[in-house]
Structure formats: C-alpha cells, structure tokens
C-alpha cells in the first residue's frame, strides 16, 4: 500500500442519523463543510454501529449493492445508491495489522455499506470517488475497542481516514418531532463533551458507571461504541480534540468530533 506522508489523516467520530438525515435543512451542509476542510483521503475505513461481528470482519472490497438495514421508510430511501470504489489494498493492510496483533479477520465479500456508513458518506463525498471499506465492531467493550483503534492507527499516515459512525445519544423512545430535547439526552451530551474536552479517557471508558443515566441515553451501547475505536486510533492527538457538529436532531445528540 502506497504510504502518504504529506497529511497524517485525522480521526472522526460522527453521528450518522437515520436515512432521513439527507432531508434535514442543516445537517447535510455541516457534513459537507466538514469534509471540505479535511485533506482528501486515499480511502475511508468505516466502523459503523450497525455491524457487530466477531472476530473482526471486513466487508466488500469491490462495489456491491448497499445494505438497507432499516424498515418502514418510504421507497425513495431504498432507491439510494452509493457506488464508492472498493478498497482491496486497505483491506489487505487491515488484515495485516490486525493479524500482527493476534486478531483474526474474516472477509464478508458480499456485504455492502450499511446506512451508518453510506448515509454520511453521501453527504461528505457525494461523488462516490473515495474508496470505502467497512469493518465490524467485534465487541462493545470500550477498552477492547480502544485497543482495536490503536492497532489501526498506522494507516492514518497512509492517507486513510478512520471514521467511527454512531450516534452520541441513541434512545429511539426519546425521538421528538417538535424540537424538544429530553433532559437525559442533554445531560449525557454535556457530560460527554466535558469529558472529551478534558481528555478524561478513563471516565469515558467507564461511561456506564460515570455518565448521567447512561442506559437511558444508550439502552444498548452500540452507537457509542465506535467512539472508542476513534479514540484509540487518535490517541496521540487527544489534545487536538474538537467538536465539529453539535446540537440535536429530533431530540438525539448529533455531536461529532475530530482528533488530529
């Protein structure tokens, strides 16, 4: 894999929203503006909340149909296509890095990008001209996921943008249609922002005990989990942490961050 030294790519954790994100009057523009400020990546490694599989699995390395992992939406959301190039070189690099640390990697060649991956990509790289590889979450354990991120960190120096895609709060019972925000969502978001700004990784790793009402903000933690892969991959740049997108979407915190 050709090594790119001109730009050490940052690491992102973003809140990806549901398929209707693309209809929002604000959020798509925020994602587009964010990507415009980044060096253009050679490839994107995407870790989405919507793929849990152990041992680590990697998806298609050629363009295959998307995975429409949702139901009950209008047909137009199932008509979306995002024919991003595959990333076989990146897949080989990920296999080598993970196996070098004793972590087996399984190929799932028919699995296309799920909505946690392609929804933000359609807004950030709408020309679908950046190769994308999706990797599974092998666990929801924060410490283990940070270790995975640390193992992946070298590809940042090779032009690869590592993206953890989740949702900073994710309780679908807290969705609102009137612009209101449940106090639990606001309190968890504020707690997480303060912990990140302070670089208090130990507190974040123990969020299920340290955060306010963590199991109301995240009845299941898969949407917070990609943050820890990002924190591991961006560990050397924790001092550069910044929130790029904040506020709420139908009551859920859409906080999205950058390291590096």
Task: Give Dmax over CA atoms of the chain in angstroms.
Answer: 50
Residue 237, classed as helix, strand or coil, is helix
The domain limits of the chain are 11-259
Residue 21 to residue 17: CA distance in whole angstroms = 6
Residue 52, classed as helix, strand or coil, is strand
145, 229 in Cβ contact below 8 A? Answer: yes
119, 69 in Cβ contact below 8 A? Answer: no
Nearest-10 Cα torsion for 232, 216, 170, 51: 60
pLDDT at 3: 43
Number of other residues whose CB lies within 10 A of the CB of residue 105 = 18
Q: What is the pLDDT along the chain (260 residues), one digit of tens a residue?
A: 444 444 799 999 999 989 999 999 999 999 999 999 999 999 999 999 999 999 999 999 999 999 999 999 999 999 999 999 999 999 999 999 999 888 899 999 999 999 999 999 999 999 999 999 999 999 999 999 999 999 999 999 999 999 999 999 999 999 998 999 999 999 999 999 999 999 999 999 999 999 999 999 999 999 999 999 999 999 999 999 999 999 999 999 999 999 99
pTM greater than the 0.85 cutoff: yes
Which CATH fold topology does 11-259 show? Protocatechuate 4,5-dioxygenase; Chain B (3.40.830)
Residue 228, classed as helix, strand or coil, is helix
Strand partners, 133: 45
Pull the structure tokens for residue 22. Answer: 């693309």
């Amino acid at each position: 894999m050709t090594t790119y030294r001109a730009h050490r790519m940052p690491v992102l954790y973003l809140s990806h929203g549901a398929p209707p994100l693309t209809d929002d009057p604000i959020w798509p523009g925020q994602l587009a503006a964010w990507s415009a400020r980044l060096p253009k990546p050679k490839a994107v490694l995407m870790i989405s909340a919507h793929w849990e599989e152990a041992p680590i699995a990697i998806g298609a390395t050629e363009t295959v149909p998307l995975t429409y992992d949702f139901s009950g939406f209008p047909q137009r959301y199932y008509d979306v296509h995002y024919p991003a190039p595959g990333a076989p070189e990146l897949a080989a690099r990920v296999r080598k890095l993970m196996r070098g640390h004793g972590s087996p990697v399984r190929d799932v060649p028919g699995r296309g990008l799920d909505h946690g991956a392609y929804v933000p990509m359609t807004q950030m790289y709408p020309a679908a001209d950046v190769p994308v590889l999706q990797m599974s979450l092998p666990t929801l354990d924060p410490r283990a996921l940070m270790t995975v991120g640390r193992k992946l960190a070298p590809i940042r120096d090779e032009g690869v943008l590592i993206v953890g895609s989740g949702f900073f709060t994710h309780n679908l019972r807290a969705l609102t249609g009137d612009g209101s925000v449940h106090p639990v969502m606001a309190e968890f978001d504020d707690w997480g922002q303060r912990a990140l700004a302070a670089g208090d990784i130990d507190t974040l790793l123990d969020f299920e005990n340290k955060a306010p009402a963590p199991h109301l903000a995240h009845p299941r933690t898969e949407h917070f989990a990609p943050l820890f892969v990002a924190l591991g991959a961006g560990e050397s740049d924790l001092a550069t942490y910044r929130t790029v997108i904040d506020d709420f979407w139908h009551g859920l915190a859409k906080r999205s961050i950058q390291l590096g």
